Structure 1
Amino acid sequence: MFRTKLLIGFGALALMGQTTPTPDPHRPTPTFDSVAPTLPALERPAVLIFSKTNGWRHDSIPATVAAVEKLVRARGWSSYATENAAVFNPAQLARFDVIVFASATGDMFTPDQRAAFEEYLASGRGFVALHGGGDGSHPGWYQQILGTGGSYTGHPGGADQFQTSDLIVDRNHPATRHLSPRWRWTEEYYAWTAPPRADVHVLARLDETGMRLEPKHRMGDHHALIWWRCEGKARIFYSALGHDPESWSEPAHVALVDGAIGWAARKRGTGCD
């Protein structure tokens, strides 16, 4: 009887034109992890590549992870890539020298996992956030660590989503030393209501001249896109670049991320002593 009623119910929905909605791969159902993964043997230095998405899921994540893995391997270091936030526990985080957020988005951590992340940073380790790792889906405590100074206002959409312009570069950092003072780049350019925090060191800002931007996406001469700061003794680095998978095969961009990882691991550069 129950099976008959169930079939009738589904038949009625079909007759009414109602179907089960197709899940949006860019908007996964948020989840929280409780069982930590089993880590492989890791030689130091070691990099944790984290790409969990409780917010928007970027198509570039596989390319980002692969590019970072290749960079780490070229250094002779170890890496471990995961989307399991339960790896954020004191024992396992202690095995890593740098954490890289590969467009990880959303509110991803339980209170204990957040505490483990903050303790990791308090120990003076390194953190690199890439593209979606700095969008508006993250909670306020994380935005403070990253150095965001205002609310995220998004990026241009439609035909104007991707635009080419110059980035004005400060080359006095291992991540940007190889770039020209004006670096031509195509991107979906993030924007915020205010520049980064006062303790942030801006490495690249957008030249908005000639761009098609709504007022909410204009920041004038303070449109920072790449920066670093200190959270205590921890080295924090953020780059808003990297939306397109193709950008992860661009040598200049990949070299920027390589320099950021080396700096965060305290192998090059100064700061946060």
Structure 2
Amino acid sequence: MARRLLVHTRTTGYRHDSIPDAVAALRAFDGFEAEHTEDPAALERPLEPYAAVVFLSTSGEVLTPAGRERLAAYVERGGGFVGVHAAACTEYDWPYYGELLGARFARHPDYQPGRVLVEDHGHPATRHLPAVWPFTDEWYDFRTNPRGTVRVLARADESSYRGGGMGADHPLVWCREQGRGRVFYTALGHASEAYTDPDFLAHLRGGTDWAAGPAGR
């Protein structure tokens, strides 16, 4: 039986042109049934039927107070949460969300090629990747370094692109547990091209699979 995903793409700030391609990619994942919404009321309803909630390049304040309560309770009780790219630019006014995700977006340099350094090949999101993964993205900087509160899976090699602001220790991809739930975040995924890249799709699928947990959870 397919596991259900609730894919939320509401934006009240910057809106990524890649969102339709990203939604299509998630809908194509075998073993999942992705329901797409931009309606904050969808997060006010019971979330237990979903294996994971995905915030896919959301931006700004995207939830109602009731939706915040529902999402927090869902994750604490064992629901999965996946944040993709601009999910880190979301819900700045809700302290719990910053804890849930692990870090908040600060800035990014120009979209450009660079290198991802994989630290942990023992996770489904990274086990297929080379130790050094060439990629093109925005290379998000974060307000704080999440290392120490998250399991860092990959970091940026700031020597491989211009404008990095975090130094040698620049996490880009991580996971963590919140209550009984699992949280996965990847800062990658700015452009539509990412959602046709086999390595990135396997990366996103692996992270989603981990957060969602086994079928029937």
Q: Give RMSD over aligned pairs.
A: 1.7
Please say if residues 48 and 98 of structure 1, whose CA atoms lie closer than 8 Å, have aligned partners that are also in contact: yes
Where does residue 145 of structure 1 map in the other structure? 100
Where does residue 209 of structure 1 map in the other structure? 159
* 1:1-273 map, 5 Å: 44-71=2-29, 74-75=30-31, 77-91=32-46, 93-135=47-89, 138-139=92-93, 140-148=95-103, 152-156=105-109, 161-169=110-118, 170-196=120-146, 198-213=148-163, 217-267=164-214
Counterpart Cα distance in 2 of 1:46 and 1:110: 22
Map Cα deviations across residues 70-112 of structure 1 (whole Å, 9 max, x no partner). Answer: 11xx22x322111011011243x12111111111111111211
Q: Which stretches of structure 1, 4 residues or more, deviate above 6 A after TM superposition?
A: none
For these two proteins, the number of residue pairs brought into alignment is 213
TM-score, reference length from structure 1: 0.74
Q: CA deviation at 1:260?
A: 0.8
Q: Which runs of 5+ in 2 are unaligned?
A: none
Q: Which runs of 5+ in 1 are unaligned?
A: 1-42, 269-273
Please say if residues 62 and 91 of structure 2, whose CA atoms lie closer than 8 Å, have aligned partners that are also in contact: no
Give the match's secondary structure for 1:174.
Answer: coil
The percentage of counterpart residues that share the same residue type is 37
Q: 1:238 to 1:210 in 2, by over 3 A?
A: closer
Counterpart Cα distance in 2 of 1:210 and 1:185: 10
| Aligned AA (1:50) | H
TM-score, reference length from structure 2: 0.92
Q: 1:249 to 1:143 in 2, by over 3 A?
A: same
| Aligned AA (1:80) | E
Please say if residues 106 and 137 of structure 1, whose CA atoms lie closer than 8 Å, have aligned partners that are also in contact: yes
Between Structure 1 and Structure 2, whose CA radius of gyration is higher? 1
Which protein has greater RCO, CA pairs closer than 8 Å, 6+ apart? 2
